[in-house]
Amino acid sequence: MATSVTGPQFEPVHERALTPAVGPAHDVDGFVRQFMRELNYSQGVPLSRSTLNDQYLALARTVRHYLMQGWIRTGKRRRDAGDKVIGYLSAEYLLGRQLDNALLAADLHDIAREAMRACGLDFDVLRAQEIEPGLGNGGLGRLAACFVDSLATMDVSCIGYGIRYEYGIFKQTFAAGKQVEVPDSWLALGSPWEFPQPDRAVQIDFGGHTESYTDDDGRERTRWVPSWNVQAIPYHLLVPGYRNNVVNTLRLWSARATNAFDLQLFNQGDYAEAVRAQTFAENITKVLYPEDSTPQGRELRLQQQYFFVAASLKDFIRHTLPQDFDLHHLPERVTFQLNDTHPVIGIPELMRLLIDEYDFEWDEAWDVTRQCFDYTCHTLLPEALEVWPVELLGRLLPRHLEIIYQLNEDFLEQVRERFDGDEVRARRMSMVQENPVRAIRMAHLATVAANKVNGVAALHSQLLRDKVLPDFSEMWPDKFTNVTNGVTPRRFVRIANPGMSELVTEAIGEGWLTDLERLAELEPFAEDSSFRERFRAVKAGNKDRLRQLLHHRDDIELDQDHMLDVMVKRLHEYKRQSLKLLHVVSLYEQIVSGEIDADSLVPRTVVFGAKAAPGYVMAKETIALINAVARTIDADERVKGRLAIAFPANYNVTLAETLIPAADLSEQISLAGKEASGTGNMKFALNGALTIGTDDGANVEIRELVGDENFFLFGMTEPDVAALQAKGYVPGDVYASSPRLKRTIDFLAGGHATGGRTSTAAAVIDDLLSHDRFMALADFDAYVEAQGRVEAKYADTEAWTRSAILNVARSGFFSSDRSMRDYLDRIWNVSARS
């Protein structure tokens, strides 16, 4: 007789692989044991013979252990519930160091510190071992990292898809003041935060041609016959939420040759040829394009884009959806957020998958596809909107080009119908540009397909509607929306500024870190003189921390008690580092000429941090010029102790975390209408720096929130800029009519701020006087005037501190948690669990 087994129901073993009984205990003892296991069994060394790197890797893997249970649980819970997934498609994630964030999320910081002490190790030295994964250029990549942090903290189902670049953003060094780029080998000493999954590889095709055929049901079909392919290997990284046991996933793709090498060629001794295919394939994810705001029309870049998007879509359908899922219901299970135009090739790819591989009719496929994508635009510079030459796209992805043509035909028919056959308009709106070369406008494709299109700050979204895509917003006004960027307060307040975090918690209690608007409760403390004193003490401590860091890291000696005036961001003409430099030169000139007494100046150190794209000549000239002026001022006894420039090389997330909390003044001085949002501006305000800024990007919202009296506004507005442009801008006229500007430029041109060498400033000055595309000269006088207001206020310590506290109290809006809530409400139609 058959017996049925009754008794306790066990969870399937694979789901309970980690129970508290086998996971490390949440105490010092448990941590130490796990650490020693990692050191001995994973690193394969005893403590006595371990290197710092061994110890760091063991520490990181120990912390990772504590997150795994949450990761497994989160995945299971989401699969069981059939949650709609946010598929965040981004070519960049500028993650920053992982250890501190993981320790904070899992509430392990104190335990880990104590455990390392018990092992006789210096916790801070180990933390400093980590090389940050610099898989992004600047704001766009950092924003993606902030967003995935917030979604995990809010318990929203999100998979971040991207590229595992073997070399991230280059490491910047200076040689004789000039930028030199060094490869960033972040993987060289091991990468403890990722899990490779070679068995989940996806094949990605390229090249070849298409052909028509009739299928078994007698339907006319098209088939893509590619000519080469590569393997995409996923690596997953953990994205822990803040103390909620939620761990989301980042899935980054690495390229590998389909056939590692040709054994026959190898055996014949032709080693180079034998591995050629491998080298070629692996080049796809070799390096991050070191560009920001200007696309490089490079084939490899398009390969990268298609590679990661195609891998992500296939992977989602195969591994995240249940087997046999009916793809007609895809929009119920996923929404793909296109982070700028880089992943837009995903639109024709989804069409192709549905039609060619899943037998959808064209209209059915379009109906599904257009519900699956939303598009965020991150720029206003026309040259930064990607276009792909038809010749290139057709050669690399012939089937996709056909699909785009068909989509465009259907779309233009709609345009003509709607606007009485307006051909001029149709040409403007077409996805295909005819001149100077026939090319696909990826922003148009994205806008047509997307459910929603958003800009990244109120002004930017308005300009996007009115100036960049006006025809589209006229056709589909409801498609356009705004979500103002935000930053994660976990990394940029709690980790970066522990002193201020403690002070805030003492004042208003816990809870603000996941509900940042609660910072508003700080407002009354601005009037409390003892609180102001403690606030200043925190700032002084942060400056001291920066002083020590720059001393060791860069051999830079920061003067004690200086106002720290900080401009950190990518080097770009529209951001106008040259305007900041002109201001410094102007102060210097005034002292040297005896117009002002050095002792009457508010002592100030101007800190620059900026990488220039390697091919961006003017940006590199500007870097060399800043360094030359820095050296000259530093060597001049007349300004010693009163004025200095510090330009640490290799500005990155790690440096930002020490630099921003130390700043007094935040420089956000782009030409109005050019900076889409900025996010550094938010980080500074949240850390109690006052902003000097133009009416641009998110500065507008910062000023509205913190109040005019706590913000130094200057310069032309966007309409002023447009009017001046229309009238014809002549920088030479500005130079001639502003005595202060003229003196400054003449002084600089005469080599007086560059150690006597006139050539150092020549390129920058020539450009400013002849083109000045971003109107730095036109805003110079206003900027200098605003800096006067800065000095006056800084001299009144209490007033300054009051404003600094109010900046913190009124900047809660700039949490990326709020941004994510806006995306959930306005774009994704998904609700957060918390």
Candidates 683, 752, 802, 821; catalytic one:
683
Between the two ends of the chain, the Cα-to-Cα distance in Å is: 52
Site for ligand NBG contains 679 (CB under 6 A): yes
Candidates 256, 378, 491, 821; catalytic one:
378
Site for ligand NBG contains 676 (CB under 6 A): yes
CB of 149 to ligand NBG, least distance (A): 15
CB of 21 to ligand NBG, least distance (A): 44
The residue among 406 and 462 lying less far from ligand NBG, judged by its C-beta, is 462
- Position among 140, 239, 671, 686 found at the interface with ligand NBG (CB under 6 A): 140
The reply to whether 243 belongs to the active site is no
CB of 699 to ligand NBG, least distance (A): 10
Candidates 575, 604, 752, 810; catalytic one:
575
Q: Identify whether the C-beta of residue 605 lies closer than 8 Å to the C-beta of residue 556.
A: no
- Position among 59, 321, 431, 456 found at the interface with ligand NBG (CB under 6 A): 456
The reply to whether 640 belongs to the active site is no
DSSP letters spanning 368-412: HHHHHEEEE-----GGGS-EEEHHHHHHH-HHHHHHHHHHHHHHH
Q: Assess whether the previous peptide bond of 133 is cis (omega < 30° from 0).
A: no
Candidates 679, 691, 694, 760; catalytic one:
679
The residue among 292 and 817 lying less far from ligand NBG, judged by its C-beta, is 292
Give the DSSP H/E element, type plus range, for residue 248.
strand 247-257
Which stretch, 134-142, 419-427, 517-525, 800-808, contacts ligand NBG (CB under 6 A)? 134-142
- Position among 184, 194, 291, 340 found at the interface with ligand NBG (CB under 6 A): 340
Q: Identify whether the C-beta of residue 477 lies closer than 8 Å to the C-beta of residue 492.
A: no
Of the candidates 145, 159, 135, 101, the residue with the CA atom closest to the CA atom of residue 254: 135
Helix intervals (H) in 678-728: 680-686, 699-706, 718-727
CB of 646 to ligand NBG, least distance (A): 24
Q: Identify whether the C-beta of residue 158 lies closer than 8 Å to the C-beta of residue 150.
A: no
Helix intervals (H) in 49-93: 52-81
The reply to whether 575 belongs to the active site is yes
Counting Cβ atoms within 10 Å, is residue 552 exposed (0-12), middle (13-18) or buried (19+)?
exposed
Site for ligand NBG contains 139 (CB under 6 A): yes
Q: Which of residues 285-314 bind ligand NBG (CB under 6 A)?
A: 292-293
Which stretch, 111-119, 132-140, 192-200, 818-826, contacts ligand NBG (CB under 6 A)? 132-140
Residue type, 713: L
DSSP 643: E
The residue among 320 and 461 lying less far from ligand NBG, judged by its C-beta, is 461
- Position among 143, 156, 500, 571 found at the interface with ligand NBG (CB under 6 A): 143
Positive or negative: CA dihedral 30, 33, 36, 41: negative
Distance separating alpha carbons of residues 164 and 185, to the nearest angstrom: 12
Q: Which of residues 343-402 bind ligand NBG (CB under 6 A)?
A: 378-379, 384
Q: Identify whether the C-beta of residue 331 lies closer than 8 Å to the C-beta of residue 86.
A: no
CB of 256 to ligand NBG, least distance (A): 29
Which stretch, 671-679, 770-778, 797-805, 826-834, contacts ligand NBG (CB under 6 A)? 671-679
CB of 134 to ligand NBG, least distance (A): 14
Q: Which of residues 481-520 bind ligand NBG (CB under 6 A)?
A: 485
Number of residues that bind ligand NBG (CB under 6 A): 18
SS3 of 157-201: CEEEEEECCCECCCEEEEECCEEEEECCCCCCCCCCCEEECHHHC
CB of 139 to ligand NBG, least distance (A): 3
Distance separating alpha carbons of residues 332 and 771, to the nearest angstrom: 51
The reply to whether 109 belongs to the active site is no
Candidates 352, 491, 569, 821; catalytic one:
569
CB of 165 to ligand NBG, least distance (A): 16
The residues with which 563 forms a beta bridge, in sequence order, are 604
Which stretch, 35-43, 581-589, 676-684, 798-806, contacts ligand NBG (CB under 6 A)? 676-684
CB under 8 Å, gap of 24 or more: what pairs does 182-190 form? 183/287, 184/131, 184/134, 186/131, 186/132, 186/133, 186/134, 189/53, 189/57, 189/131, 190/53, 190/57
The reply to whether 570 belongs to the active site is yes
The residues with which 666 forms a beta bridge, in sequence order, are 566, 691
The residue among 64 and 569 lying less far from ligand NBG, judged by its C-beta, is 569
Counting Cβ atoms within 10 Å, is residue 300 exposed (0-12), middle (13-18) or buried (19+)?
middle
CB of 293 to ligand NBG, least distance (A): 5
Residue showing the smallest CB distance to ligand NBG in the complex: 139
Which stretch, 75-83, 135-143, 299-307, 417-425, contacts ligand NBG (CB under 6 A)? 135-143
DSSP 450: -
CB of 381 to ligand NBG, least distance (A): 8
The residue among 632 and 679 lying less far from ligand NBG, judged by its C-beta, is 679
The reply to whether 320 belongs to the active site is no
Catalytic residue list: 378, 569-570, 575, 679, 683
Which residues contribute to the site for ligand NBG (CB under 6 A)? 138-140, 143, 292-293, 340, 378-379, 384, 456, 485, 675-679, 697
